[in-house]
């Protein structure tokens, strides 16, 4: 039997009193005076034979800070309620462990399936920064729960564009990872009122397959086989690749998204003689782009190594590691515990897509120039711990900073 939707009262979590208490708790968990002093002093630390350089932009962005603040605020405002989170608040294991320590439970099981059957009007459900799929939210609303929505504003800007596409019978091609929470949430909005269509492309190789079909170099059945699981129900490339709008997961590489757009536009231009059936919007997250640009600036310096700190399932952090490994030996680590010794480092291998142990001289004995950056979901306290661990492995003293 279906449960009728119940009205959900809006509660202001961001009162001055609540946020003052939240700020104290958040700073205790994630703040680093060392990192702030380094930033104020030019983002560089000189000591002995070691120079550590920080990217000008790294770590928590506004959207992540807001999501964490709202999760902490929900616990303050609803001290006795059952609190649930749809998946992870952000992609950082340390932050998610802190959220769990507040007594906020995961609404998803180990296989990613939501369990909403026993939710009631006294329960609180937190929507993570990535957003959530429309059908799941509608099901939660039927139970009358309080909903705390921490969805990033940049993500909601993409939703606005794909809804517009659906309303005008334009298929949304989404540049992103088909299994990522944000992309799934965006895809559910691309359906609009039921007349929308979407297709997810991961990279330029998949983009070229789309262009092959548009150009008549690929048949319908082959196309559906290649993209199985990456398009909306009832998707027919012969019907739904006529009018196309390109959107993206907000944490992708801007240069790659722009090339996806260029190649698809060119294919439509050659097919139709004009580009009237193509549209695009700039929907890359500003913070993501700032961190990528800051890393590229940092890589212009002579460096011996780069450490990228963050969760291994973080899309924006992964792209920082991809940028880094093109220029300098790059180690994608979760935290300071990965730095076992100058000869042993545990790190995420982008090609094997798993954490591995490298037993080689990753930290040279000579004068060293090493850079550090972090994804938008990495707190500053983890950066501080990495810096202190580096100095310890190098046998260096922490200089006094003003």
pLDDT for residue 13: 87
DSSP tag of 242: S
Strand order of the β-sheet with 339-341 is 339-341, 344-349, 354-359
Any long-range contacts for 8-16 (C-beta under 8 Å, 24+ apart)? 8/141, 8/144, 8/145, 8/146, 8/147, 9/146, 11/77, 11/146, 13/70, 13/73, 13/74, 13/76, 13/77, 13/148, 14/69, 14/70, 14/73
CA 107 to the chain's CA centroid: 20
pLDDT for residue 11: 67
Give the residues across from 279 on adjacent strands.
245
* Cα distance between residue 354 and residue 362, in whole Å: 18
Please give the torsion angle defined by the CA atoms of residues 246, 131, 97 and 295, in that order, rounded to the nearest 10 degrees.
30
Q: Which of 88, 182, 256, 384 is catalytic?
A: 182
**Under CATH, what is the fold of the domain 154-280?**
Cobalt-precorrin-4 Transmethylase; domain 1 (3.40.1010)
Contact indicator for 361, 330 with CB cutoff of 8 Å: no
Q: How does pLDDT run across 188-214, given as a tens digit for each residue? A: 999 999 999 999 999 999 999 999 999
Domains in the chain: boundaries: 29-61+286-394, 62-151, 154-280
Any long-range contacts for 365-368 (C-beta under 8 Å, 24+ apart)? 366/49, 367/49, 367/50, 367/51, 368/49, 368/50, 368/51, 368/304, 368/305, 368/394
DSSP helix/strand/coil, 373 = strand
179: tokens are 């299994």
Q: Is 266 a catalytic residue?
A: no
CA 78 to the chain's CA centroid: 28
Strand order of the β-sheet with 368-374 is 44-47, 50-54, 368-374, 305-309, 330-333
DSSP tag of 230: S
**Under CATH, what is the fold of the domain 62-151?**
Rossmann fold (3.40.50)
Burial class from Cβ neighbours inside 10 Å (0-12, 13-18, 19+) for residue 229 reads: exposed
Per-residue pLDDT of the chain (402 residues; tens, 9 = 90+): 344 444 445 567 878 889 899 989 998 999 999 999 999 999 999 999 999 999 999 999 999 999 999 999 999 999 999 999 999 999 999 999 999 999 999 999 888 889 899 999 999 999 999 999 999 999 999 999 999 999 999 999 999 999 999 999 999 999 999 999 999 999 999 999 999 999 999 999 999 999 999 999 999 999 999 999 999 999 999 999 999 999 999 999 889 999 999 999 999 999 999 999 999 877 778 888 999 999 999 999 999 999 999 999 999 999 999 999 999 999 999 999 999 999 999 999 999 999 999 998 999 889 999 999 999 999 999 999 999 999 999 999 888 775
9: tokens are 């009262």
* Cα distance between residue 227 and residue 199, in whole Å: 8
Asked, colleague to colleague, whether 62-151 and 154-280 share their fold, the answer is no
CATH architecture of 29-61+286-394: 3-Layer(aba) Sandwich (3.40)
Give the residues across from 175 on adjacent strands.
201, 248
């Amino acid at each position: 039997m279906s449960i009728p939707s119940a009205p959900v009262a809006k509660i202001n979590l961001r009162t001055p009193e609540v946020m003052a208490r939240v700020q104290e708790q958040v700073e205790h968990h994630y703040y680093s005076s060392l990192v702030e002093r380094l930033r104020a002093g030019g983002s560089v630390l000189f000591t002995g034979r070691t120079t550590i350089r920080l990217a000008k932009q790294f770590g928590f962005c506004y959207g992540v800070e807001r999501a964490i603040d709202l999760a902490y605020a929900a616990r303050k405002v609803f001290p006795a309620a059952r609190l649930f989170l749809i998946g992870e608040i952000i992609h950082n294991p340390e932050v998610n462990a802190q959220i769990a320590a507040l007594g906020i439970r995961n609404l998803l099981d180990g296989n990613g399936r939501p369990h909403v059957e026993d939710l009631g009007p006294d329960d609180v459900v937190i929507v993570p920064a990535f957003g959530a799929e429309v059908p799941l939210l509608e099901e939660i609303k039927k139970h009358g729960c309080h909903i705390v929505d921490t969805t990033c504003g940049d993500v909601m800007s993409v939703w606005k564009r794909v809804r517009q596409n659906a309303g005008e019978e334009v298929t949304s091609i989404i540049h992103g990872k088909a299994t990522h929470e944000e992309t799934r949430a965006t895809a559910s909005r691309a359906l609009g009122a039921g007349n929308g269509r979407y297709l997810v492309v991961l990279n330029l190789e998949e983009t070229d397959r789309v262009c092959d079909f548009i150009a008549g170099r690929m048949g319908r059945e082959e196309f559906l086989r290649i993209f199985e699981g990456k398009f909306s129900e009832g998707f027919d490339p012969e019907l739904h690749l006529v009018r196309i709008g390109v959107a993206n997961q907000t944490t992708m590489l801007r240069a790659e998204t722009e090339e996806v757009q260029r190649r698809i536009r060119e294919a439509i231009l050659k097919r139709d003689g004009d580009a009237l059936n193509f549209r695009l919007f700039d929907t890359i997250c500003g913070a993501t782009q700032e961190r990528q640009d800051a890393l590229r600036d940092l890589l212009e310096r002579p460096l011996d190594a780069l450490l990228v700190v963050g969760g291994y399932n973080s899309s924006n952090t992964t792209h920082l590691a991809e940028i880094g490994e093109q220029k300098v030996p790059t180690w994608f680590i979760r935290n300071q515990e990965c730095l076992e010794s100058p000869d042993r480092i545990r790190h995420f291998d982008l090609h094997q897509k798993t954490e591995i142990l490298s037993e080689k001289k990753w930290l040279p004995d000579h004068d060293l120039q090493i850079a550090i950056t972090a994804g938008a979901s990495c707190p500053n306290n983890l950066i501080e711990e990495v810096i202190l661990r580096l100095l310890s492995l190098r046998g260096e003293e922490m200089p006094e900073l003003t």
